[in-house]
Amino acid sequence: MTPKEVVEFAKKNNCQMVDLKFMDFPGLWQHFSVPVDELKEAIFEEGLGFDGSSIRGWQAIHCSDMLVIPDPSTAMMDPFTQYPTLSMICNIVDPITHEKYSRDPRYIAQKAEAYLKSTKVGDTAYFGPEPEFFILDDVRFDQTARSGYYFLDSSEGIWNSGREENPNLGYKPRHKEGYFPVPPIDSQEDIRTEMVQEMIKLGIYIEKQHHEVATAGQAEIDMRFDALVAMADKLMYFKYVCKNVAKRHGKTVTFMPKPLFGDNGSGMHTHQSIWKGGKPLFAGDGYAGMSEMAMHYIGGVLKHAPALAAITNPTTNSYKRLVPGFEAPVNLAYSSRNRSASIRIPMYSPSPKAKRIEVRFPDPSCNPYMAFAAMLMAGLDGIENKIDPGAPLDKDIYGLTPEELAGVPTMPGSLEEALDNLEADHEFLLKGDVFTQDAIDTWIEYKRSKEVDALRLRPHPYEFFLYFMNSCS
């Protein structure tokens, strides 16, 4: 829609409020709302002011004034507000220079799309994420100077199979047995469908929904691919819908990669391809029907994966999922069909339009604007430098001998290690000024001080189990 059409759309829907959403640096949606009388065509150029010093990773207090500029193409009716509310996603600009803000994740994604076009390699990068998440009934957590704990619960959790529920009907999937059982074992068919229906109303094309592997309500809803920025916008609405539909039912949703011990974590396999002039460029006559360009793209992602991890797997909790020897794709190899490789080439269809790669190590805690942009930049670096991805690994990676595994590189084992890799390897992100040095430095400093060091300073509950009675003191 154009600005004029947005104003007319608001009147047609009897809007009372306009909600303006934007992305903070770590990856959480922020918002504020204004009465509909403030919705004039001028705000699409002049913007509305807010305090940038209150947003994580952004401005210092002495230069805190910022502007949000609504993107009219994102206008839609919010399905969760009591009063009719128009929702729009915004870009962030400096109020003095009116330049776009270099730490605005959406602007980073926009620059990545522009950089792709400038290379003449292609004109569109398509992304199709598959976010997994848990739908839970109860969550409690706290951290003080002398205590720390978390407690999760789900009516589906196998640990409740012996609980008195008057009656307990026993339909609770065992650990690692939640994939595809029909109701009543899958108790969340209807709530996932409600999520799907709300997403469809928002213009998000959904391909399927299903229960995932873990007990306790692990779920997956798959969206059809879209261009990079549009897909990141949709993923933010996706999370918004999942959380708010769950709240309607007195439940809660988490996109933490590893909320449960002893069961599968939540990943976000991300399908990617490059097109030009409406034609797919990843289809060819090479391995698994892929083009040379696609193989070089894979080479770039594999080469830079240890650095990408700091953005695609950006929490300390991410590395509770990325543990060698289990099912997570920690081994940096590619294969057709083999889901134990960190990059898979899906073989569902022989159509050239279906040719894509699936990067399997990202998780849904990431900031999608930055994660998609970073993976695209790594792939483009592979294309530019003709990076050879090596031979495919079509064996069961988890069945390889230690000698065979010795030659297969792996993902970092911690957020701290990933940040070290990003610090050492980020030149590919600076091309086209997509990521600025300031944005990368701020990301690394924020993650180290607010997350890595913050966790390192606090005792862990399991340390008491290990050491309280058995230490040498």
Of 220, 226, 233, 416, which is the active-site residue?
220
* pLDDT of res. 472: 59
224 is catalytic: no
Does residue 44 contact residue 93 with C-beta atoms inside 8 Å? no
Q: Tell me if residue 438 falls in helix, strand or coil.
A: helix
132 is catalytic: yes
212 is catalytic: yes
Can you tell me the mean pLDDT for 127-150? 96
Asked whether the predicted pLDDT for residue 52 surpasses 80, the reply is: no
- The residues, any chain, with a CB within 8 Å of residue 106's CB and separated by 6 or more, are 22, 23, 89, 91, 92, 229, 232, 233, 369
What would the two tokens of residue 93 be? 């600009």
Of 24, 104, 137, 212, which is the active-site residue?
212
Integer Cα distance of 179 and 157 in angstroms: 14
The pLDDT tens digits of the residues spanning 257-302 come to 999 999 999 999 999 999 999 999 999 999 999 999 999 999 999 9
Residue 33: beta bridge partners?
19
* pLDDT of res. 450: 95
Can you tell me the mean pLDDT for 124-149? 96
Residue 320: Cβ-neighbour burial (10 angstroms; 0-12, 13-18, 19+): middle
Integer Cα distance of 181 and 196 in angstroms: 19
What would the two tokens of residue 157 be? 């959790």
269 is catalytic: yes
Integer Cα distance of 395 and 392 in angstroms: 9
For residue 325, name the pLDDT band (cuts at 50, 70, 90). low
Of 104, 137, 263, 358, which is the active-site residue?
358
- The residues, any chain, with a CB within 8 Å of residue 464's CB and separated by 6 or more, are none
Of 130, 137, 186, 233, which is the active-site residue?
130
464 vs 251, higher pLDDT: 251
Closest by Cα among 284, 273, 193 to 226: 273
463 is catalytic: no
Residue for token pair 């709530």:
191
Rg (CA), the chain: 23
Indicate the pairing of strand 124-136 with strand 218-223.
antiparallel
For residue 408, name the pLDDT band (cuts at 50, 70, 90). confident
Indicate the pairing of strand 343-345 with strand 334-336.
parallel
For 46-100, list the strands marked E by DSSP. Answer: 48-51, 65-70, 76-77, 85-93
Residue 112 vs residues 228, 297, 373: alpha-carbon distances, Å: 9, 15, 6
Of 103, 106, 192, 269, which is the active-site residue?
269
Of 132, 156, 186, 263, which is the active-site residue?
132
Closest by Cα among 259, 207, 274, 275 to 238: 207
Of 106, 321, 344, 360, which is the active-site residue?
360
8 is catalytic: no
Residue for token pair 């960190």:
342
Of 51, 65, 190, 427, which is the active-site residue?
51
Does residue 92 contact residue 83 with C-beta atoms inside 8 Å? no
Other C-beta atoms lying within 10 Å of the C-beta of residue 77: 15
Of 31, 175, 210, 339, which is the active-site residue?
339
Does residue 175 contact residue 215 with C-beta atoms inside 8 Å? yes
* pLDDT of res. 399: 73
* pLDDT of res. 189: 96
DSSP 91: E
339 is catalytic: yes
Asked whether the predicted pLDDT for residue 469 surpasses 90, the reply is: no
Can you tell me the mean pLDDT for 378-401? 89
The amino acid present at 277, given as its one-letter code, is G
Integer Cα distance of 197 and 214 in angstroms: 24
Residue for token pair 């306790």:
216
Asked whether the predicted pLDDT for residue 206 surpasses 60, the reply is: yes
